[in-house]
Amino acid sequence: TVVTDQGKPAKIPFSVTLNKGEVYQVQSLNRRNLAGQGDLSGSYIRANKPVALYSGNFSAVIPAESGVGGYDHLFEQMPPLQTWGREYYTVPLLTRRADRYRLIAAEDNTSVQIGSRPRRVINKGEWFEFLLQSNEPTRIIADKPVMLAQFSQSNTADSNGDPFMIILSSVSQSKNDVTFVAYNSNQIRDYFVNVVSPTSETGNILFDGNP
């Protein structure tokens, strides 16, 4: 979608051949006052054999506005198109005033409804961002597959914590069992977990074996 740091022009396909275990990195060109650079969001990657794709930014502020401080890296594995969903539930991050979201479409003429907000229509590879406040858990419905990312904002935008990025799972990707680790740290004392469940199943949720 934009010029790469190796000089590949925007919106012109190019091919790379990889062998097992090899890695290829694509970065956007980011030099001051140069047109056609910046955000790689919406770029389309297709492979003839299975690959894993990781995406992010080595040092970003959220939102990307002048005067915002609090840099950190963003890094997530991108789910393949066949796992994208049409229904999502967002949960506010505890201790934050608001969360920023980015939604991207897999197909043209995708209609998206975010809670009670006006419906929006976007095309393949197009995306938009929106803000939900700390009291706005929200249902998001699309008529075609979409991917949804949730972002913690930088501390000068939200006065608490560093930015980070989470790829949200759609309702169709719900799991019965999830394993995760909270790493020991002398700087982080509190950990938070967001769980979304059908109301009928809340009595069956166990954490470390306990209700």
180 pLDDT band (50/70/90 cuts)?
A: confident
pLDDT at 189: 83
By the 10 Å C-beta count (0-12 exposed, 13-18 middle, 19+ buried), 103 is classed as buried
Asked whether residue 181 carries a pLDDT value surpassing 90, the answer given is: no
pLDDT at 19: 98
DSSP class of 118: P
Both tokens assigned to 138 = 């929200």
pLDDT at 39: 87
151's enclosing H/E stretch is: strand 138-152
Asked whether residue 34 carries a pLDDT value surpassing 70, the answer given is: no
Q: Which residue has tokens 């190796």?
A: 6
pLDDT tens for 126-178 read 999 999 999 999 999 999 999 999 999 998 888 777 899 999 999 999 988 88
**Least confident stretch, 17-31, 37-51, 62-76:** 62-76
- Supply the mean pLDDT for the chain: 91
Closest listed residue to residue 100, CA positions, set 126, 66, 74:
74
pLDDT at 137: 96
Asked whether residue 51 carries a pLDDT value surpassing 90, the answer given is: yes
pTM over 0.95, yes/no:
no
54 pLDDT band (50/70/90 cuts)?
A: very high
36 pLDDT band (50/70/90 cuts)?
A: low
pLDDT at 33: 61
DSSP class of 49: S
35 pLDDT band (50/70/90 cuts)?
A: low
71 pLDDT band (50/70/90 cuts)?
A: confident
